[in-house]
Amino acid sequence: MLTRPAFDAWRAGWMVAAAVASSLLFIALVHHLPVSILAGAGYDDAWFWQRAESIAAGRWLGTFDSMTLIKGPGYPLFLAASHVLGLPATTMQAVLYAAACLLLGGAVYRVSGRPLLALVLVLAVQWHPAALGWNRVIRDNIGGAQILIVLACLLYFLHARRAGRRGWGWAVSAGIALAWLWTTREDAVWVVPGITLLLLAHAATAWRERVDRRRLAVGVGLMAFACAGALGVVAGVNMARYGAFATVDTRGTAYRDALTALQRVRVGPPVHQVPVPEPVRQAVYATSPAFARLRPYLESPEHRGGEACRLAPQSCSDYSGGWFMWVLRAAAASIGEYRSASAAEAYFRTLTDEIDSACDDGRLACTGRLAASLPPVDPAQWKTVPGRVGKAAQLLTWQGVGGGQPPSDTAAAGVGAMWRFVGRPPVRDPAEVLGTQVAGWFHDARPGWLAVRCTHPVLLVAVERQPSPDIALHFADPGAGMNRFRVAVPAIAGCGFEPTSGAGAVALAALAGAPAAAALGSGTLTVESVVEGIPPTAREQAWPRAVRHVIWSAYARVLPWLAGAGLLAFLWASWRAARNRRLEPLYLLAATAWCLVAARAALLVLVDLSAFAAIRVDYLQPAFALLVVASVASLSSSGSPRARRSAHPVARGKKWGSP
């Protein structure tokens, strides 16, 4: 018969085995889920891939231009590491997330001494459908893992005395993880309230009970030093390479000051999600020579609308907040002001000074600088805040979440290179658009058209006609108005063009150095571009999506009830903590997680209100896992006698002595 200690050890052992087995299954599933390869998304997916490719080649973030420092290197470094290790990016993301869940589970076990609670938390967080929706190559995919790692390291440090240690290594690890998070997203300020709450609660208890003060102070100092040191290393590398001591040049720089100065100006009523509308720009052109230099670019019809329509439909003839910040940089680059970091800094400083001077002497009507840090918001828009909060809450509880996925940019230059760099993941795109993309035109005075014949595999690919008014005009042939084409072939080798008449053939390999032309039958074949794309063999299998759908549906049913019960339990635990004047570890974990969820949601509501549509699943990624942590920790701390017995020794008044 097992003794109690032996039974506890056996139970903890099989729970660890279950958590590890779950992690392996999770990684295997994510490995087989499809990814969209958006090689044309220059400010998102393609930017991360290109910077990661440059890092892997030893060139840091590449040559300097207006795009180089728009985002931090946190995610490109991760992509470069996965490429060097030979693992698909999605698999590495799954490994990171699974490890973060296990680390947090271990920290909760350290805090509570309850292995079953730790296992439930690991499983509930690990299989959240948001972690099965990483269908793009974007930094949001690792945000959830990063905040879980920071939180777990903090818990290990704060409760290190339970293992008879000081935990300073965990404090340093928390600082480094926080720095990584900070260099991954520029809006990482949302983590500050939750982390501050957790540290202050422990500091207050330590101060009141006169124990553990020195260890806590040293640990917090080490965490801050490690975080600042890691950020300083990144900024130092940027200084050495580009002359800019910053992790990014979109905040805390003259560029950010210039955006704020432009948002100060008021001409007419505010336009929803358009921070610098055309009337404001026209007024600033008249008072700022530096800004007037940007007029040809900013007012060109080809630069307005387009992407802005996707971000905010009401800004189709103007620039939404999420688009203007990039267009301003592109406009400055068009006049040569991004030839170096110092030149860009000097230009935007001049621009800021000219606008501020016009505001100060009354030539422009302006608000204060602090108010302008937020894009102008119509007073009527503030009434929509409850609806936006409701939308965020709906998504957080996995209600109304669409299962769509954008198609890959199969015709974009570099799509094949990007697919290979991120580890050749499965894709959802139909087979007819996969493969090498060939575009060009064919003209023959005689009737007839083209086909592509391949030998590996053996198939005949029909070539669809596309409009070609330029070809008809060039050859003075009204019948050549549909003689352009774009066709996807399995590969360059083994495929060739042939006329439908069957007379003659041209190997595609002979035209691979596009643009190239060749005689084909009695006509002329011109290939203008050959884009080596994603092979048809990369098509996804059906079973991973089916498994994901089952998990998706289960969480959609359970999460609203879990979150609601967790919130009620947290309110009850808060009342009990106030009555007993005691803060239990699980309650502090729940309070921290709820604070982090609220901070993330509040930030996105504010951005959604003022700049662009920000209440989206990808931006909420870090909050999904935290909501589960908050709910489970709240329920576990709300009334269980065992939970009360597991309170932190300091909170119970038990002294450990000086460190």
pLDDT of res. 6: 62
As a whole number of angstroms, the distance between CA 54 and CA 42 comes to 15
Judge whether 589 and 121 are in contact, CB under 8 Å.
no
pLDDT of res. 162: 66
Is 556 a domain residue?
Answer: yes
pLDDT of res. 604: 95
Long-range contacts of 538-542 (CB under 8 A, 24+ apart): 538/419, 538/424, 538/425, 538/426, 538/427, 538/434, 539/426, 539/427, 539/428, 539/429, 539/431, 539/434, 540/32, 540/33, 540/34, 540/426, 540/427, 540/428, 541/32, 541/426
Q: Which two tokens stand for residue 60?
A: 């840091």
Is 562 a domain residue?
Answer: yes
Is 274 a domain residue?
Answer: no
* Among the listed residues 310, 404, 339, 356, the one whose alpha carbon sits nearest the alpha carbon of residue 617: 404
- pTM value is 0.90
Sign of the CA dihedral 264, 265, 270, 273?
A: negative
Angle between helix 341-360 and 321-334 (nearest 10): 120
Please indicate, yes or no, whether residues 574 and 524 belong to a single structural domain of this protein. Answer: no
Is 26 a domain residue?
Answer: yes
Question: Is the peptide bond preceding residue 457 cis, with omega within 30 degrees of 0?
Answer: yes
* Among the listed residues 553, 454, 512, 412, the one whose alpha carbon sits nearest the alpha carbon of residue 42: 412
Single out the residue in 531, 557, 580 at which a domain terminates. Answer: 531
Is 633 a domain residue?
Answer: yes
Alpha helices, DSSP H only, in 514-541?
none
pLDDT of res. 257: 92
* Among the listed residues 141, 129, 113, 169, the one whose alpha carbon sits nearest the alpha carbon of residue 45: 141
* Among the listed residues 538, 562, 539, 443, the one whose alpha carbon sits nearest the alpha carbon of residue 499: 443
As a whole number of angstroms, the distance between CA 591 and CA 598 comes to 11
Please indicate, yes or no, whether residues 629 and 486 belong to a single structural domain of this protein. Answer: no
What backbone phi and psi angles, to 5 degrees, belong to 366? -140, 155
pLDDT of res. 161: 76
With residue 181 as reference, give the H or E element that holds it.
Answer: helix 168-182
Pairing of strands 465-466, 458-462: unpaired
pLDDT of res. 8: 62
Please indicate, yes or no, whether residues 492 and 614 belong to a single structural domain of this protein. Answer: no
Judge whether 417 and 436 are in contact, CB under 8 Å.
no
Is 125 a domain residue?
Answer: yes
Pairing of strands 484-489, 436-443: antiparallel
pLDDT of res. 4: 57
pLDDT tens digit string along 357-385? Answer: 999 999 999 988 766 567 778 788 888 99
Range of the domain at 191: 4-243+540-645
- The burial class, CB within 10 Å (0-12 / 13-18 / 19+), for 63 is exposed
pLDDT of res. 163: 60
* Among the listed residues 319, 271, 267, 275, the one whose alpha carbon sits nearest the alpha carbon of residue 298: 319
Please indicate, yes or no, whether residues 176 and 96 belong to a single structural domain of this protein. Answer: yes
As a whole number of angstroms, the distance between CA 330 and CA 311 comes to 18
pLDDT of res. 643: 42
As a whole number of angstroms, the distance between CA 288 and CA 304 comes to 21
Q: Which residues 6+ apart lie within 8 Å of 465 measured at CB?
A: 449, 482, 483, 484, 485
> Number of folded domains in the chain?
2
Please indicate, yes or no, whether residues 443 and 504 belong to a single structural domain of this protein. Answer: yes
Please indicate, yes or no, whether residues 461 and 583 belong to a single structural domain of this protein. Answer: no
Please indicate, yes or no, whether residues 105 and 232 belong to a single structural domain of this protein. Answer: yes
Residues in the chain where the model's pLDDT stays below 70 = 1-10, 162-164, 305-316, 370-373, 502, 639-659
Judge whether 535 and 488 are in contact, CB under 8 Å.
no
Q: Which two tokens stand for residue 438?
A: 């060939």
Quote the DSSP letter at residue 190.
G
Please indicate, yes or no, whether residues 586 and 501 belong to a single structural domain of this protein. Answer: no
Is 614 a domain residue?
Answer: yes
Please indicate, yes or no, whether residues 110 and 238 belong to a single structural domain of this protein. Answer: yes
pLDDT of res. 502: 66
Amino acid at 488: A
Q: Which two tokens stand for residue 304?
A: 């307005």
Please indicate, yes or no, whether residues 27 and 105 belong to a single structural domain of this protein. Answer: yes
Q: Which residues 6+ apart lie within 8 Å of 537 measured at CB?
A: none
265-295 in b/e burial notation, b at 16+ Cβ within 10 A?
Answer: bbeeebbbbbbbbbebbebbbebbebbebbe
Please indicate, yes or no, whether residues 84 and 188 belong to a single structural domain of this protein. Answer: yes
**Overall residue count recorded for the chain in this entry:** 659
Is 297 a domain residue?
Answer: no
Single out the residue in 501, 531, 561 at which a domain terminates. Answer: 531
* Among the listed residues 250, 264, 253, the one whose alpha carbon sits nearest the alpha carbon of residue 356: 264
Please indicate, yes or no, whether residues 574 and 520 belong to a single structural domain of this protein. Answer: no
With residue 126 as reference, give the H or E element that holds it.
Answer: helix 115-126
Single out the residue in 513, 531, 549 at which a domain terminates. Answer: 531
Judge whether 408 and 415 are in contact, CB under 8 Å.
yes
